[in-house]
Structure 1
Amino acid sequence: MEWYEVGLGLLGLLMLLIGIGLPIPFALAAASLPFLWQIQTFETSLVSSQLKLWGVWIDYILLAVPLFVFLGELIGKSNIGPNLYQFLHQGFRLRGSAAYGSIGACAGFGAVCGSSMVGSLTIGGVALPEMLRLGYGKKLSSGVLAAGGTLSVLLPPSLILLFYGIVTDQSIGDLFIAGVIPGLILVTMFCIVVMIWGILRPDDIPAQEHAVRMGLFQIAATVGPIALIGLVITVAIYAGIATPTEAAAVAALLTVILAFGVGGLRWDGFRDAALSTMRTMGYLGLLLSAGTLFGFVLTYYRVPYEFTQFFLAFDLSPYVVLTIVLLFYILLGMFLEPVSMTFITLPTIFPLMAAAGFDLIWFGVVYTITMEIAVLTPPVGLNLYVIQGISRGQVTIGEVITGCLPFIAALVVLIFVLILIPETALWLPEQMK
Structure 2
Amino acid sequence: MSATAVGVGGIVALFVLVALHVPLAFAMIVVGIAAFALQTDWSSALTFLATEPSQVLGSMDLAAVPLFLMMGAFVNVSGFARDLYAAAAALLGHRRGGLSYATIGGSAAFGAICGSSPATAATFTQVALPEMLKRNYAPGFSGATIAAGGALKALIPPSLSMILYCVVARTYIFDVFIAAVIPALLAIVANLIAIALIAHLHPAMAPVAPRVSRAEQLIAVRRAAPAALLIVIVFAGLYSGIFTVNEAASVAAVVSCAFAFLRGTLSRNNLVASLRETALIAGMIYFVLIGSSIFTYFISLAKIPEQLIILLGSVNLPPVGIIVLMLGAYLVLGAVFDELAAMIVTLPFALPIVVHLGYDPVWWAIINVVIVELGLVIPPIGLVILIIHAMRPDIPLQTLYRSIIPFVAADLAVLALLTAVPSLTLWLPALLRG
Shifted more, 172-181 versus 40-49: the winner is 40-49
Paired-residue identity, %: 28
Alignment of 1:286-301 (within 5 A): 286-301=287-302
For 1:60, give the aligned amino acid: M
Offset, 1:211: 6.0
Alignment of 1:23-422 (within 5 A): 23-92=23-92, 93-209=94-210, 214=216, 216=218, 218-222=220-224, 224-262=225-263, 264-391=265-392, 393-422=393-422
Distance 1:236 1:26 in 2: 38
Runs of 4+ aligned residues of structure 1 deviating over 4 Å after TM superposition are 209-213
Contact 2:3 2:301 in 1 (8 A): no
Distance 2:88 2:191 in 1: 15
Offset, 1:231: 2.7
Offset, 1:9: 0.8
Distance 2:281 2:132 in 1: 29
Root-mean-square deviation (CA), in Å?
Answer: 2.0
Question: How has the CA–CA distance of structure 1 residues 268 and 97 changed in structure 2, closer, same or farther, with 3 Å as cutoff?
Answer: farther
User: Can you list the C-alpha shifts for 1:124-152, whole angstroms capped at 9, x where unaligned?
Assistant: 22111211121100111011100111111
Question: How has the CA–CA distance of structure 1 residues 408 and 258 changed in structure 2, closer, same or farther, with 3 Å as cutoff?
Answer: same
Contact 2:91 2:217 in 1 (8 A): no
Point out where structure 2 has 5 or more consecutive residues left out of the alignment: none
For 1:137, give the aligned amino acid: A
Contact 2:48 2:294 in 1 (8 A): no
For 1:208, give the aligned amino acid: A
User: Can you list the C-alpha shifts for 1:341-399, whole angstroms capped at 9, x where unaligned?
Assistant: 222101100110111111221222122111111111233321111111222x2211111
TM-score normalised to structure 2 length: 0.93
**1:70 aligned counterpart, secondary structure:** helix
For 1:409, give the aligned amino acid: A
TM-score normalised to structure 1 length: 0.94
Q: How many residues align?
A: 431
Shifted more, 154-163 versus 300-309: the winner is 300-309
For 1:228, give the aligned amino acid: L
Question: How has the CA–CA distance of structure 1 residues 253 and 339 changed in structure 2, closer, same or farther, with 3 Å as cutoff?
Answer: same
Distance 2:306 2:263 in 1: 53
Offset, 1:339: 1.8
Point out where structure 1 has 5 or more consecutive residues left out of the alignment: none
Contact 1:113 1:158 in 2 (8 A): no
**1:37 aligned counterpart, secondary structure:** helix
Distance 1:418 1:351 in 2: 20
Question: How has the CA–CA distance of structure 1 residues 61 and 26 changed in structure 2, closer, same or farther, with 3 Å as cutoff?
Answer: same
Question: How has the CA–CA distance of structure 1 residues 14 and 43 changed in structure 2, closer, same or farther, with 3 Å as cutoff?
Answer: same
Offset, 1:255: 0.9
User: Can you list the C-alpha shifts for 1:209-264, whole angstroms capped at 9, x where unaligned?
Assistant: 47676464552341x33333223323333333332122111111111111222474
Contact 1:120 1:146 in 2 (8 A): yes
For 2:334, give the aligned amino acid: G
Offset, 1:270: 2.6
Offset, 1:53: 2.1
Partner of 1:14: 14
